[in-house]
Amino acid sequence: MKITIYTDGSSRGNPGPGGWAAILITENEVIELGGAEDHTTNNRMELMGAIKGLKEIGPHMHVEEVEVCTDSEYVKKGITEWINGWKAKGWKNSLKKDVLNRDLWEELDHEEARLKEAGINMKWTYVPGHAGVALNERADVIATSCADSVIEKGATNLQLYRGPKVHYEYL
């Protein structure tokens, strides 16, 4: 089975209140996830969306391939191009400065390694943001609604979907 995950992150101010989203699509099911933090950055929320999406995948799901679709070049390039160099250099970037968001990069790296060790093929795909890709747009709505819920000091009125793929309105 293949799982496709659309992720997004948002912050109202950078730093400021933030939200993340992940939408997992399997052959038969769709799972929407979202969360918020009081004081964060957009990049941290982009990373959290990917981390939370991958964490949702358990051994009971019998997955062969995971494709993570993100509108964050920071996330895609970080996990596919930069991370091995950062680790080799003691988590220093090309300017010999500490890598920002190291804690989340390590967590994302751990989740990807966990899935690869289970024999799951990983693919990371960049999708342009705000370009009419329905699932990316839905992830953006979830992430920004979660960020706004922090500002409003309450739960968002947004309902997250978990159910049959055939009933999911954004496909």
**What does each C-alpha distance from 76 to 36, 81, 127 come to in angstroms?**
21, 8, 10
- Is residue 155 very low, low, confident or very high in pLDDT (cuts 50, 70, 90)? low
- % pLDDT > 90, the chain: 89
Q: What is the mean pLDDT of the chain?
A: 95
The one-character DSSP state at 144 is H
The predicted-structure confidence for 113-151, as pLDDT tens digits, reads as follows 999 999 999 999 999 998 999 999 999 999 999 999 876
For 27-58, how does the pLDDT look when each residue is reduced to its tens digit (9 = 90+)?
999 999 999 999 999 999 999 999 999 999 99
Say what the pLDDT of residue 151 is. 64
Q: How confident is the model at residue 106 (pLDDT cuts 50, 70, 90)?
A: very high
Catalytic positions are 8-9, 46, 71, 130, 140
Tell me the CATH class for 2-167. alpha beta
Structure tokens at 162: 């978990």
- Tell me the pLDDT band of 105, cut-offs 50, 70 and 90: very high
What is the mean pLDDT of the segment spanning 90-111?
Answer: 96
What is the pairing mode between strands 121-126 and 65-70?
parallel
Percentage helix, strand, coil, to 5, in the chain?
Answer: 40, 30, 30
Q: Across residues 2-25, what is the average pLDDT? A: 97
